[in-house]
Structures are given as structure tokens and as C-alpha cells.
Amino acid sequence: MPDYQGGNRLLDALPSSERDALLRDARIEHLVRRQPLLAPGSLPGDVSFPISALVSIVVVFENGETNEVGVVGREGFVPVEHALGVQAVQRTAFCQVAGETVHVGVAAFRAAIEQRGELFGLVQRSIGARLFAAEQLVGCNITHSLRERCARWLLMTRDRVGENEFPLTHDFLAMMLGVRRASVTEIAGELQEEGAIKYQRGLVTITDEAKLAQRACECYAAITTEFERVLTEGRRNTNHGRS
């Protein structure tokens, strides 16, 4: 593939030979906001490595309520099911912030994993981080206030898209956090009042990251640290080849 210039941290951590092999028949796609990626029962033919796009993984309950349960940006890939040999995806996922992703065919992805090189270890550890994050959020949603979770969400999103400004409506954020739109409006108003963020009709800007981080719960740091650890943990440690 000629036009991949880096951007996905998982891909960028690969030795170039391995990356070239994996990306031979890959292509870059532009995802638009709200574009669906996964639906329950589906089995997509591609594995996506976001570059600038942001993907939300949500659970849709019987009564129609929808909660975000995971988020994947340039630090990961989607769906993990293809790396775990699970035969059907049971979640819903869609593009939350428009941008580019690298699409790799399932066959190529699996073949590359079978090489047991860097990719295998990275993918495995990245799944570990995904699990860690999900578990953290299980506790977070029970223990931390909406205000804390709201700040955490904004920071996590910022990190993944790599921009301090991104499109976001109160309505959407409310859905992600599983709360009322009006509650988000209140909190967002406070955060704006305090100078941490700025709102303008569907566009947020993080104006004071440190201030926002103060208001976020510890889960932000925990999840960030874990992803960092997992992505930078060198090849030395992945003893998955021959023992």
C-alpha cells in the first residue's frame, strides 16, 4: 500500500518488514460520522486500524437505551473478535469522529498473526488493555460522579483523535455516558464556566487540559497508563515464539 504514512500506534510499533507485509493489500478509508462498523451478528470482512477516526463500541439494550462500552482510536483496532477466533461480533460500533482508518482484509490479518512476530504480541497485549479499560469502566460507572466521568470522556476522546477540538453535541455525549441530555448540558456549562472547555453548537474545544484532568476521575490516568504500558512494552518481553 503506497499511501500509509503512519498514525496508527499499533501499526507504527511494527518492524517495517512486518508492517509492509501486513499492509500489502490494505487500503485507507475515510469514515464519516455515525457510519456503522459493526452490528450484532455481523462478521465484517475487514480489520480496521484507525488513524484519525474514532470508533465507539456500544451496547444497545432491549429498551433501546444505548451506552458506550469501549472506544477505539489510533491506539488499537477493531474488531478484536477476529484476533480471538470468535465467530460473530455481538456489539454495535460506529464512527464517532470522522477520519481515516487502515483496512486490512481478515485473511491477511490472520496470516500476519500466524507469523508470530511483533504483531501477534501487540495485538494480544492490546486486547489486554481493552479488557483492562472495560473493567475499569465497570467500576467507574458505579463509583464516580457524572462530572468526573464527563471530564474523563472528553480527555480520552481528545487523546484518541489527537485534537483539542472535535464535533460533539450534548445529546450525543449524553448517550455515550448513559445519562440525560439535560444533565450533560448542566455539567458542560460548569466546565465551560470554569474555563476547562468551550462549546459552540456541536463543537467542543478543550481549552485547559490540566484543569479538565483535575476534574476527571482516576480512571482516565489508569486507562491511559495501561495502554501506554502495553504499547511500549518491548519485543524482549513477548516470549511467544519458541520457548
Contacted by 182, from a copy of itself, DNA, none: CB < 5 to 8 Å by type? DNA
Pairing of strands 197-199, 36-38: unpaired
Sorted by sequence, the CB contacts under 8 Å of residue 184 that are 6+ apart come out as 150, 170, 171, 173, 174, 177
Q: Is 182 among the residues that bind a copy of itself (CB under 8 A)?
A: no
How many residues are recorded in the chain? 243
- Cα distances from 104 to residues 62, 107, 161, in angstroms, run 33, 8, 20
Contacted by 90, from a copy of itself, DNA, none: CB < 5 to 8 Å by type? a copy of itself
Give the sheet arrangement for strand 197-199, strand by strand. Answer: 165-167, 203-206, 197-199
**Shortest spacing between CB 198 and a copy of itself, in angstroms:** 27
Q: Is 67 among the residues that bind DNA (CB under 7 A)?
A: no
Residues 131-150 that bind DNA (CB under 7 A): 145-147
> Which residue among 35, 42, 67, 183 contacts a copy of itself (CB under 8 A)?
67
Write the DSSP assignment of 157-223 as a string of letters. HHHHHT-SEEE--HHHHHHHHTS-HHHHHHHHHHHHHTTSEEE-SSEEEES-HHHHHHHS-HHHHHH
Residues 75-94 that bind a copy of itself (CB under 8 A): 80-81, 83-88, 90-91
Cell of 132: 483492562
Cell of 50: 484507525
Tell the residue number behind the cell numbers 477540538, with chain if given. Answer: 165
* Options 22-30, 72-80, 84-92, 200-208: segment touching DNA (CB under 7 A): 200-208
Nearer to a copy of itself, 51 or 69 (CB): 69
Put residue 66 in one of left, alpha, beta given phi > 0 → left and psi -120 to 50 → alpha: beta
Neighbours of 47 (CB within 10 A): 26
> Which residue among 1, 21, 28, 59 contacts a copy of itself (CB under 8 A)?
59
Put residue 117 in one of left, alpha, beta given phi > 0 → left and psi -120 to 50 → alpha: beta
Nearer to a copy of itself, 90 or 214 (CB): 90
> Which residue among 54, 161, 188, 216 contacts DNA (CB under 7 A)?
188
Nearer to a copy of itself, 67 or 192 (CB): 67
- Contacting residues toward DNA, per CB under 7 A: 145-147, 169-171, 178-183, 185-186, 188-189, 192, 199-202
- Contacting residues toward a copy of itself, per CB under 8 A: 57-59, 61-62, 65, 67, 69-70, 80-81, 83-88, 90-91, 107, 110-111, 114, 121, 124-125, 127-128, 130-132, 134-139, 141-143, 177-179, 218, 222, 226, 229-230, 233, 237-240, 242-243
